[in-house]
A and B are shown apart, each in its own frame.
Chain A
């Protein structure tokens, strides 16, 4: 199972999906596009654990993390 984690006021919301399920994959891709289109940053981790920003939906990513646009505090 793959997971899309969206940071929110509850800590985060997790959306799990089976990457082998075409319908679930399409839904996950739509979620990715919707979030990044509204200013969220998507990040995945390399096998060594370093974060990498991703701008395209990666169907092989086990975990994708989303956080909202950064602003000056």
Chain B
């Protein structure tokens, strides 16, 4: 019985996750068509223009994308957000530690993620030098 409950719980969680993901993707699409917050939409459009095809596919599917640090070759995962949204990945692709750095100006999510991507891909050491480290609590899908 407990096994059945556990399986049902897993199915329910997956259903919720997929539903949430679908809703967020629809909202992004809605924003990009200009119906949502125009600033948010502009930020997302700019981000999409600068992501590599692989990063864009990953972002569309999971609302996060991976970048490679230009100095260390380490991989980082940037998830949708405006702070505490960067995670260093270990060799197995598991979340290792969190890094938080953002542009000083108050920017929309698309802009923040794009600045973080460019910083890690072009000046990893400089970005991490100002970053605050945090323990990862988020579990990647």
- A-B complex is real: yes
Chain A residues engaging chain B, CB cutoff 8 angstroms: 5, 7-12, 39, 41, 43, 45, 49-53, 65, 67-73
Q: A9 → chain B, closest Cβ, in Å?
A: 5
Report if A68-B104 is in contact (Cβ < 8 Å); known contacts: A7-B115, A11-B43. Answer: yes
Taking A9-B105, A11-B42, A67-B111 as known contacts, 12 extra A-B pairs with beta carbons closer than 8 A to each other, sorted by chain A number, are A5-B46, A7-B46, A7-B103, A7-B111, A7-B115, A9-B39, A9-B108, A11-B43, A12-B43, A51-B118, A53-B123, A70-B126
Shortest 10 CB-CB distances between A and B: which pairs? A11-B42, A73-B100, A72-B132, A68-B105, A67-B115, A11-B39, A73-B83, A7-B111, A11-B43, A68-B103
Q: Which of chain B's residues 100-131 have a Cβ closer than 8 Å to chain A?
A: 100-108, 110-111, 114-115, 117-119, 121-123, 126-127, 130-131
Q: B122 → chain A, closest Cβ, in Å?
A: 5
Q: For chain B, which range describes its interface: under 10, 10 to 19, 20 to 34, or 35 or more residues?
A: 35 or more
Choose from B38, B110, B117, B130 the contact partner of A71 (Cβ within 8 Å). B130
**Residues of chain A with a CB closer than 8 A to B83's CB:** 73
Q: B95 → chain A, closest Cβ, in Å?
A: 17
**A72 CA to B102 CA, complexed, in Å:** 6
Q: Is the CB of B104 within 8 A of A71?
A: yes
Chain B residues engaging chain A, CB cutoff 8 angstroms: 38-43, 46, 50, 52, 83-84, 100-108, 110-111, 114-115, 117-119, 121-123, 126-127, 130-132
Classify the interface of chain B: helix, strand, loop or mixed.
helix
Q: B71 → chain A, closest Cβ, in Å?
A: 13
Q: Is the CB of B105 within 8 A of A12?
A: no
**Residues of chain A with a CB closer than 8 A to B106's CB:** 9
